[in-house]
Amino acid sequence: MTKFIIITYLLSFFLISSAQTKIKKRKNIFNIELTTIDKSTKLNHGDYLKIDKVSKDTVVYGKYINGVKVGIWRYYGSDNDIYLKYDFDNKKVIEISESINSIDTFLVETNTDQFELKTVDRPPLMLDGEFELEKLAAISFEPDIFDLLEKEYEFIMAAIIIDKNGVQQDVSIEKELEESINEDVINAFKKIRFDWLPAIKEGERVRSKIHLCIHIYNNYEVLQKMIQHLPQNPYTRHVFYRYELTLPNN
């Protein structure tokens, strides 16, 4: 079914491509993006499709008109299931996955300007594929390999704030490593920006916090043992960075 959907989308791209539009293709190690561009205005105008490079599953599908997202956009999670379906014309959530719908508590800002675990109507929702934050973080994190010598496993805990308008704020470090690695994490997340739907508490938009646990390892067995003791909750996302150091032969 997934492959049929992708073929249908691709046929749509070819049919709408004309003298007025062109298809722009971008790719990274995880995804392939196909965007319809108006040749005269250089704006996104028409179908947009993001595909997982390995599984060929759809990650995101939607449409632009003159550079603006319109209509219903579909964002996918694991097993090509819908993570989020959002109507940009009416600014309305149409559908969210059962796993997201079951989240009833999240870290949100209180009257004391602190972030505490509170009951929420809805957690913050990223307007992209469900795991795109983790994917981009893994690509963007570029530590100096020599800072990691003799470390079989370490982790650093960062955090981002999603404000009441769904704007992603700058990252902060909550569990530090060496200063150079802290800076590498901050620099990585400066490159990563997503649009979000803010968390909702008692019918009102609220600021929320998401923890980003970045696991740095070169020994998979040690990683497996350590992550059993780390937080598994809706407001903590996990990024895995494996490094290898190959020394030259004498």
Q: In one letter, which amino acid is 205?
A: R
Q: Is the dihedral of CA 174, 180, 185, 191 positive or negative?
A: positive
Beta strands in the chain (DSSP E): 21-27, 31-38, 44-52, 58-65, 68-76, 82-87, 92-96, 105-109, 115-119, 125-126, 153-162, 172-175, 196-197, 199-201, 204-206, 208-217, 236-242
Mean pLDDT computed over 230-239: 86
Greatest distance between any 2 Cα atoms in the chain: 66
Distance CA 136, CA 241 (A): 12
Residue 21 has pLDDT above 80, yes or no: yes
Distance CA 61, CA 8 (A): 12
Q: In one letter, which amino acid is 202?
A: E
Distance CA 179, CA 107 (A): 27
Q: Is the dihedral of CA 82, 167, 91, 123 positive or negative?
A: positive
Mean pLDDT computed over 33-62: 94
Lowest mean pLDDT among 27-41, 189-203, 222-236: 222-236
Burial 145-159 (b: 16+ CB within 10 A, else e): eebbeebebbbbbbb
Q: Is 134 helix (H, G, I), strand (E, B) or coil?
A: helix
Per-residue pLDDT tens over the stretch 136-159:
888 888 877 666 666 788 889 999
Distance CA 210, CA 236 (A): 6
- For 83, 100, 103, 122, the CA distances from 125, given in Å and listed in that order, are 9, 9, 11, 8
Residue 10 has pLDDT above 80, yes or no: no
Lowest mean pLDDT among 41-45, 145-149, 222-226: 145-149
Cα Rg, the chain, nearest whole Å? 20
Residue 2 has pLDDT above 60, yes or no: no
Residue 1 has pLDDT above 50, yes or no: no
Lowest mean pLDDT among 24-38, 97-111, 142-156: 142-156
Place 222 in a pLDDT band, splitting at 50, 70 and 90: confident
What residue spans define the domains of the chain? Answer: 1-102, 103-250
* pLDDT of amino acid 189: 84
Read off the pTM.
Answer: 0.85
Mean pLDDT computed over 150-175: 89
User: If 0-12 CB within 10 Å is exposed, 13-18 middle and 19+ buried, where does residue 209 land?
Assistant: buried
Eight-class DSSP state of 7: H
pLDDT winner (highest mean) among 76-80, 128-132, 213-217: 128-132
Residue 223 has pLDDT above 90, yes or no: no
Eight-class DSSP state of 171: P
Residue 4 has pLDDT above 50, yes or no: no
Lowest mean pLDDT among 8-22, 101-115, 219-233: 8-22
Per-residue pLDDT tens over the stretch 105-125:
999 999 878 999 999 999 999
Write out the two tokens for 227: 């992550």
Q: How many residues does the chain have?
A: 250
Residue 6 has pLDDT above 70, yes or no: no
